[in-house]
Amino acid sequence: MNHEAQNPASALVLFSGGQDSATCLAWALERYARVETIGFAYGQLHAVEMTARQRVRSAMAVVKPEWAERLSEDHVVDLAGYGAVAESALTADRAIEITESGLPTTFVPGRNLVFLTVASALAWRRGIATLVGGMCETDYSGYPDCRRDTIDAQERALQLGLDTPMEIETPLMLLSKAETWALADQLGGEALVQMIREETHTCYRGDREHRHDWGYGCGTCPACDLRARGWQEWRGQGA
Q: Rule CB under 8 A: which residues touch a copy of itself? A: 1-3, 41, 75, 77-82, 84-87, 94, 99-101, 103, 105, 107-114, 117-118, 120-122, 124-125, 144-145, 147, 149-150, 153-154, 156-158, 160-163
Which residue, 87 or 185, is less far from a copy of itself as judged by CB? 87
Rounded distance, CA 57 to CA 66, Å? 14
- A 10 A CB-CB count for 46 gives 17
Judged by beta carbon, residue 62 or residue 98, the one nearer a copy of itself is 98
Beta bridge partners of 59: none
169 three-class SS? strand
Which CB, 166 or 203, lies closer to a copy of itself?
166
Question: Is 14 strand, coil or helix?
Answer: strand
Distance CA 16, CA 21 (A): 6
Q: Which residues face 212 on adjacent strands?
A: 215
DSSP 145: G
User: With respect to a copy of itself, which residue has the nearer C-beta, 172 or 195?
Assistant: 172
Neighbours of 6 (CB within 10 A): 16
Q: Which CB, 161 or 219, lies closer to a copy of itself?
A: 161
Nearer to a copy of itself by C-beta: 31 or 147?
147
Q: Judge contact between 234 and 178, C-beta under 8 A.
A: yes
Q: What is the amino acid identity at position 137?
A: E
Cα–Cα distances in angstroms (integers) from residue 63 to residues 24, 58, 72, 119, 144, in the given order = 14, 10, 15, 26, 34
Q: How far is the CB of 38 from a copy of itself (least distance, A)?
A: 8
- Residue positions counted in the chain: 239
Closest approach, Cβ 139 to a copy of itself, in A, equals: 17
Q: Nearest distance from residue 194's CB to a copy of itself, in Å?
A: 34
